[in-house]
Amino acid sequence: MKIAQRLRRMSLRQLLKLTFLFLRNPLLAYPAYKASAETFRICNRHFGKSHHGNGIENAYRHALWNALICKNSSKFIKNDQKLAEWTQKLTDLYEKITKNHPLDKAMDLHNNAIGRKLYLEQKSTNLENSLMKMTENGVKITKIESISDFPNRLVYIS
């Protein structure tokens, strides 16, 4: 699904929340958009449409998305802690307004954190390849409580 399609599916209230976040941080809107578009392009190339499900491909997409938001926003935010906080604020808001099933949301939040952590450890070096290697050790989960058992691994549902 393209970014424009995702935006069209949001309610007016959801769009306003996202808009206000970017109004407070206008220089970060384009880096976030660019990261989102790049994430979809890369995932479509690697996985076709399968990254829209809840498999390891989706875990990869969420981690890559966060890593690329960090990478693109780092031109404007030089402090790693603030960079991670901005990216988390944006992606947590996205998860909140999309209203996924609780297990889906927990999985996405976990994989988002993996992407931010990877970026902070590696910066821009081979993020795509590093995450692809991480998919080989991804863990299938069936309940939210088990996510915390895998703090450094991608998790997926199906």
pLDDT tens-digit readout, 78-137: 999 999 999 999 999 988 887 789 999 999 999 999 999 999 999 877 899 999 999 999
Indicate the pLDDT class of residue 19, thresholds 50, 70 and 90: confident
The Cα diameter of the chain in Å comes to 39
The domain segmentation of the chain, as residue ranges, is: 3-156
Q: Measure the CA–CA gap between 14 and 32, rounded to whole angstroms.
A: 17
pLDDT in tens, 23-40: 888 999 999 999 999 999
The percentage of residues in the chain with a pLDDT greater than 70, rounded to a whole number, is 96
**Full-model pTM:** 0.90
**Alpha carbons 20 and 54: distance in angstroms, whole number:** 29
Residue 9's pLDDT is: 72
Tallying the residues shown for the chain, one arrives at: 158
